[in-house]
Amino acid sequence: MNEKPLSKRQQSILQFTHGYMEDHGRPPTIREIGKAVGINSTSVVNYNLGKLEEKGYLDRDPDVSRGLRLTEKAGTVAHSVGQAVGNAAASMRDAVESLIVRVPLWGDIGASASPLPTVNDVFPAYDEEDAVVVSSKMLKVKSDNLYALRVRGDSMIDAMVNDGDIVIMQPHTEARNGEMVAVYLRNDMSATLKRFYVEGDRVRLQPANPTLQPIYVDPEEVQIQGKVLMVLRQTE
């Protein structure tokens, strides 16, 4: 006759008892077992211990407070259960990782009346390990080359981009009129976030703030670095 499999509660009791004895060198009390596995009644704990004893997983001495001894059979099951839990946790971590995208945070981008001076070719660099986490479901493009910039300034507030927000950028070297872009200005060695417009022989970099004036530059001075794909609002 096949032995009835252990219930989840009995598996939890075995696993906890096995781990407790490895850590402390002695078995747990009835109350410690109940607290660990979420059983408030000591009689319910005793019932399940009795079932485990009947099935050969442990021996009990009813006259001793910590009168439990796990059999070799119990050690094998506890190890298997622990391994299964570990595998399930690893699978869950993998599933979560598949739903998120880590976008490198390259640095700051000026969104002010004046572009933000840079200390390298494009943006003031952050640590290369800095990144922001974005749900993959929020992205409608491939995430391979995306990067993030932290906004400094309030020139784009009417476009719902505030000081301290993070913009997710998609690399581009060209833009259509009205698109919000990160621009590197070669002559000034500075970077800014503005709406882009070509007007005859000049480029207008338009803020989204009625208190600020647009920036007019020669097209040769403008190097488009990317378009804004998403804005991550930062709240205190």
Q: How far apart are CA 2 and CA 25, in angstroms?
A: 34
Residue 233 is encoded by which pair of tokens? 């609002």
Q: Are 115 and 186 in contact (CB under 8 A)?
A: no
Q: How wide is the angle at C-alpha 58 spanned by C-alphas 57 and 61, nearest 5°? A: 160
Nearest Cα neighbor of 8 from 64, 65, 77 is 77
Q: What is the DSSP code (8-state) at residue 125?
A: B
- Given 73, 98, 137, 194, the catalytic residue: 194
Q: How wide is the angle at C-alpha 31 spanned by C-alphas 73 and 80, nearest 5°? A: 25
For the chain, the residue count is: 236
194 is an active site residue: yes
136 is an active site residue: no
The one-letter code for the residue type at 53 is E
Residue 95 is encoded by which pair of tokens? 């599933």
Which residue, chain included where needed, has tokens 């581009």?
172
Nearest Cα neighbor of 77 from 2, 163, 7, 166 is 7
- Given 98, 155, 190, 227, the catalytic residue: 155
Summary count for the chain: helices (H), strands (E): 4, 12
Nearest Cα neighbor of 68 from 119, 34, 28 is 28
Count CB atoms within 10 A of the CB of residue 187: 10
Active site residues: 155, 194
